[in-house]
Chains A and B, each alone.
Chain A
Amino acid sequence: MLTIQEILETIKMVQEENLDIRTITMGISLRDCSHTDPEVSCQKIYDKVTRMADGLVDVGEKIAREYGLPIVNKRISVTPVSMVAESSSTDSYLPFAQALDRAAREVGVNYIGGFSALVHKGLTRGDELLIRSIPQALAETQRVCASVNVATTRSGINMDAVSRMGQAIKELAQLTASDNGIGCTKLVVFANVPEDNPFMAGAFHGVGEPESVINVGVSGPGVVKRTVEELPGADLGTLSEAIKKTAFKITRMGELVGRAAAERLGVPFGIVDLSLAPTPAVGDSVAEILESMGLERCGAHGSTAALALLNDAVKKGGAMASSSIGGLSGAFIPVSEDAGMIRAVEEQALGIDKLEAMTCVCSVGLDMLAIPGDTPTETISAIIADEAAIGVMNQKTTGARIIPVPGKKVGEYVEFGGLLGRTPIIPVNPFSSSGFVNRGGRIPAPVHSLTN
């Protein structure tokens, strides 16, 4: 039988510590929506998405009420559009993005992910067209998210694609200059991308996935922070143990909601992704967890070690709680979405170099990083290449979501609004990387057997 303490613990996690189900994401395969006529294909996409996801928002809201757990977002991920659109005779994939945008609006979801391509070894015609369409597609739609995978541990880094993504980011920032380059918040460049990630902007419905699937993203930096705060002076092994237990409890909530949503929508349950995804709300911060461990500011020496402990403990707790852990599962370190990160940047405790080091042990990468608008395209590509190299060499997912904010310089601020937050512009290295980036070609896959 449950004790009153256990019941109150759960209630407290939700009411005081911002425990929430961050997203229920429905994956939908669009592989049967190809057609030589792009208009027909777009209509098929719209019809299928609106048909499959018809009850998604209602079911999500009903579950939230019954269980008393906030479910913040209901979202959709689809098959990478480059694969679906490739059969169509057209030179622009903008109409496909518009069809997805309309479908997302119709069913009431705030983001739809999958304007994507997997190009880690090379580009097909469809990949080429998709990447070329990204700036316009994201600038002219509201809800569509794009991602491109440019590297994997098994195939190395496609530097031609990295170079193009630098250009795409820069172009997209210009096209959305009146909104501080907000288009770039909907675009992630990945290495080793997971095919079942429910979190935006990087979600898409992988080719190995079923017709439709429900994936759930749970979050709760505030709950973990409270756990750490309740153990002042405890040694790090004890701390890791406590974080594991908390992560277990949080993940169970994801498992419950995922199973319930899948059953009610009549589609298979995919994975739970336990990711500590911060929001600008006070206390809902990954940086503050690290600071609770005893660092004066996030970014101080020791931050990488503290984050490694946190990320690993979260994964271990999650893996115990659900046999279907997937996606990114770990700790996110987006800058603009995390009040503690913003403060650390403001006080110059944290810069791009330390952030990059921290991405070696966090679950994703350089996320929501606002840099000066006049940053050269090659420098952006080089930042992506560095992130990709970290992912490829360490056999982990890394991503880069970088916003070169038009007209803004170091020392200025940018406000994206809502969950995307507000951040100071972070300085980048002023020396040029263009000679390296412009060589193009492919950085070969690493040898991982010769480990001595």
Chain B
Amino acid sequence: MKTEQSQAIKGNRIIISVIGPDRVGIIAGVANVLADNEINILDISQTTLQEYLAMVLIADMAKSRIDLDTLKEELHTKGKELGVRIDAQHEEVFNFMHRI
């Protein structure tokens, strides 16, 4: 996954994961939630995990109108609507595990 150099403060970056059966409107659904809250998408990447779609978005919450907890709830609701599992986590978790 390649991402252009971002000026985002590292502490504001989150990773949104979407896992579930593929269907029309998943990207649009997630992107709408983010756009509505002024959260900037830095990168999108997807793959298939067994028969499922696995999509990962990296986003910047620097100018976000809501906090991570609220965003998680909104994404969770959207996920239910779309029949997929959507979660948002702080980027640090992944950096800590995979980068020294």
- Listed in ascending order, the chain A residues whose CB lies under 8 Å from chain B are 1-11, 62, 65-69, 249, 252-253, 255-256
CB contact under 8 A between A10 and B72, given known A1-B1, A4-B56, A68-B89: no
Q: Is A253 touching B1 in the complex (CB atoms < 8 A)? A: no
Q: Which residues of chain A come closer than 8 Å to B99, judged between CB atoms?
A: 2
Q: Min CB distance, A257 to chain B, in Å?
A: 9
Residue in B17, B47, B90 whose beta carbon sits within 8 Å of that of A66 in the complex: B90
CB <8 Å contact, A7 and B96: no
Residues of A within 8 A of B93 (CB): 10, 67-69, 253, 256
B: number of interface residues (CB 8 Å): 29
CA distance A249 to B17 in the complex (A): 19
> Chain A binding site: helix, strand, loop or mixed by DSSP?
helix
On chain A, the residues within 8 Å of B49 by CB distance are 8
Contact indicator B19/A249 (Cβ below 8 Å)? no
B46 at interface by CB-CB < 8 Å: yes
Partner of B95 from A2, A65, A66, A68 at Cβ < 8 Å? A2
> Is there an interface contact between B1 and A2, defined as CB atoms closer than 8 Å?
yes
Contacts of B7-22 to chain A: CB distance below 8 A: 15, 17, 19
For A8, list chain B residues within 8 Å (CB). Answer: 17, 47, 49, 54, 56
CB-based nearest B residue for A254 = B96
Q: A65-B68, A67-B92 are in contact. List 10 more A-B contacts (CB 8 A).
A: A1-B3, A2-B15, A6-B94, A7-B17, A10-B93, A11-B17, A11-B87, A65-B69, A67-B90, A255-B96
Q: How far is the CB of A252 from chain B (nearest CB, A)?
A: 5
Residue ranges of B at the interface with A (Cβ–Cβ < 8 Å) = 1-3, 15, 17, 19, 45-47, 49, 54, 56, 58, 68-69, 72, 87-99
- Known A-B contacts A66-B89, A67-B89; the reply to A2 vs B94 at CB < 8 A is yes
With A4-B46, A11-B19 as known contacts, state yes or no: A66 contacts B96, CB within 8 Å.
no
Asked if B90 and A252 sit within 8 Å, CB to CB, the answer is no
With beta carbons under 8 angstroms apart, the residue of A7, A62, A255 that contacts B56 is A7
Do residues B97 and A252 form an inter-chain contact, with CB atoms below 8 A? yes
* Residues on A with beta carbons closer than 8 Å to the beta carbon of B87: 11, 68
Chain B residues whose CB sits within 8 angstroms of the CB of A68 once the complex forms = 87-90, 93
Report the bound CA distance from A249 to B99 in whole Å. 10
Residues of A within 8 A of B90 (CB): 66-68
Q: A1, B92: Cβ atoms under 8 Å?
A: no
Complex formed: what's the CA distance from A62 to B70 in Å? 12
Chain A residues with CB under 8 A of B69? 62, 65-66
Q: Top 7 nearest A-B pairs by Cβ distance?
A: A68-B89, A256-B96, A6-B98, A4-B45, A67-B93, A252-B96, A249-B97
CA distance A249 to B94 in the complex (A): 10
Listed A/B pairs (25) with beta-carbon separation below 8 Å = A1-B2, A1-B3, A2-B1, A2-B15, A2-B58, A2-B94, A2-B95, A2-B99, A4-B46, A6-B94, A8-B47, A8-B54, A8-B56, A10-B98, A62-B69, A66-B69, A66-B89, A67-B89, A67-B92, A68-B88, A68-B89, A68-B93, A69-B93, A249-B97, A253-B93
